[in-house]
């Protein structure tokens, strides 16, 4: 009976494999482990406009998310050597954005003027996770709470009183406004818990960081009523309540982090003296209508209702971190993720 001859290509492949195995054996377990550690950890960044750092140049103008290439996920990934998948998106909510797809009518740019037919819906951000994900950051909650609606109410009520009193505080601390806000917080808390459970299922080995919101108006010194580079027609008397609302939101996020064994990233404390009413380089927060910051010359001319807002600002930035604010977020998140990166490297690589 004749012997079967192995094809030449198979013999060559076996020879290479044998040589490679011999090389690994010669290197020993320490060198093999070191080679594995050199593979960058997989980092998925999820979140809303404060994580996408919308209106900070340069931004991606292709999908309506307004995601900045200078946002904190990009800076952190570069600094820590992580393999970034950035699915942050302006206007994202816990449900419509993280848990479920973000519909076209909730994609607001920049560019603020969508293409004909609108932007295509975005997949649920959770879809970016996998069992191979090592590190996750999530900055979310403000849109689910209705922060844009709240600020708009404060602008309108402050305009009606010509800046006197605290009409927005009154609205949200009694009657229908108080009941609505309580319901919003209860719903957000439940959705946050669902989101954290789902992250644990989809990325069971990942180290997770929940990113809080930076200070907007921790102190109202320097604020001028009617200045849209700041808070426009929001009454100064309402600013302490707005600050308290933001701290209450951050408390919810921190509590959810504690409940689910995640790390909470505090971006508020470091930014207390750099809110929307600070001056010059000390201002880390855009006002309602403000001049753009960052690198390059991208513009987003006022569109729709934004055209009716008075003031000389280039764009309707509607209270978001500017380039300096994004840089500070990156500093805080990198400091929190560095030990998580080390743990993930040591445990799984």
Asked if the model's pLDDT at residue 157 lies above 80, the reply is: yes
Per-residue pLDDT tens over the stretch 87-108: 999 999 999 999 999 999 999 9
What is the pLDDT confidence band of residue 305, given thresholds at 50, 70 and 90?
confident
How many whole angstroms separate alpha carbon 105 and alpha carbon 330?
29
- pTM of the full predicted structure? 0.89
Instruction: Give me the pLDDT at residue 37, please.
Output: 56
What is the pLDDT confidence band of residue 79, given thresholds at 50, 70 and 90?
very high
Domains of the chain by residue range:
1-38, 42-348
Instruction: Give me the pLDDT at residue 26, please.
Output: 43
CB atoms within 10 A of CB 46: 27
Per-residue pLDDT tens over the stretch 111-136: 999 999 999 999 999 999 999 999 99
Asked if the model's pLDDT at residue 24 lies above 60, the reply is: no
Give 150's contacts (C-beta < 8 A, 6+ positions apart): 168, 172, 181, 242, 245
Asked if the model's pLDDT at residue 25 lies above 90, the reply is: no
The stretch 310-327 carries a mean pLDDT of 96
The stretch 58-63 carries a mean pLDDT of 97
- Is the distance from CB of 44 to CB of 135 less than 8 angstroms? yes
How many whole angstroms separate alpha carbon 274 and alpha carbon 282?
5
The stretch 50-72 carries a mean pLDDT of 98
- CATH 3.40.50.1820 assigned to 42-348: no
Kindly report the average pLDDT of the chain as a whole number.
Answer: 90
Q: How far is CA 298 from the centre of its chain?
A: 21
Instruction: Give me the pLDDT at residue 347, please.
Output: 55
* Eight-state DSSP code of residue 293: E
CB atoms within 10 A of CB 191: 18
Of 233-237, 275-279, 303-307, the least confident = 303-307
């Amino acid at each position: 009976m004749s012997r079967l001859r192995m094809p030449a290509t198979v013999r060559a492949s076996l020879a290479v494999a044998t040589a490679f195995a011999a090389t690994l054996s010669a290197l020993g377990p320490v060198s093999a482990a070191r080679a594995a550690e050199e593979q960058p950890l997989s980092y998925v960044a999820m979140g809303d406009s404060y994580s996408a750092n919308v209106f900070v140049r340069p931004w991606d103008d292709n999908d309506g998310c307004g995601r900045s290439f200078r946002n904190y996920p990009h800076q952190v990934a570069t600094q820590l050597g992580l393999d970034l998948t950035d699915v942050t998106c302006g206007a994202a909510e816990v449900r419509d954005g993280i848990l479920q797809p973000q519909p076209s009518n909730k994609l607001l740019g920049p560019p603020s003027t969508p293409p004909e037919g609108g932007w295509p819906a975005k997949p649920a951000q959770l879809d970016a996770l996998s069992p191979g994900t090592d590190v996750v950051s999530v900055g979310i909650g403000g849109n689910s709470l209705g922060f844009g609606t709240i600020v708009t109410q404060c602008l309108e009520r402050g305009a009606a009183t010509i800046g006197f009193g605290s009409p927005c505080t009154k609205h949200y601390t009694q009657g229908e406004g108080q009941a609505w806000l309580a319901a919003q917080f209860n719903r957000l808390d439940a959705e946050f818990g669902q989101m954290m459970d789902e992250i644990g299922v989809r990325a069971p080995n990942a180290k997770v960081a929940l990113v809080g919101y930076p200070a907007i108006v921790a102190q109202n010194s320097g604020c001028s009523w009617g200045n849209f580079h700041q808070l426009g027609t929001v009454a100064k008397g309402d600013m302490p309540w707005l600050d308290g609302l933001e701290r209450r939101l951050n408390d919810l996020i921190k509590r959810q982090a504690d409940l689910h064994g995640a790390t909470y990233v505090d971006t508020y404390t470091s930014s207390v003296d750099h809110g929307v009413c600070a001056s010059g380089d000390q201002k880390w927060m855009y006002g309602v209508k403000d001049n753009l910051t960052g690198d390059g010359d991208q513009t987003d001319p006022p569109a729709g209702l934004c055209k009716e807002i008075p003031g000389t600002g280039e764009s309707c930035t509607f209270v978001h971190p500017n380039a300096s604010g994004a840089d500070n977020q990156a500093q805080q998140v990198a400091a929190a993720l560095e030990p998580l990166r080390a743990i993930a490297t040591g445990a799984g690589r």
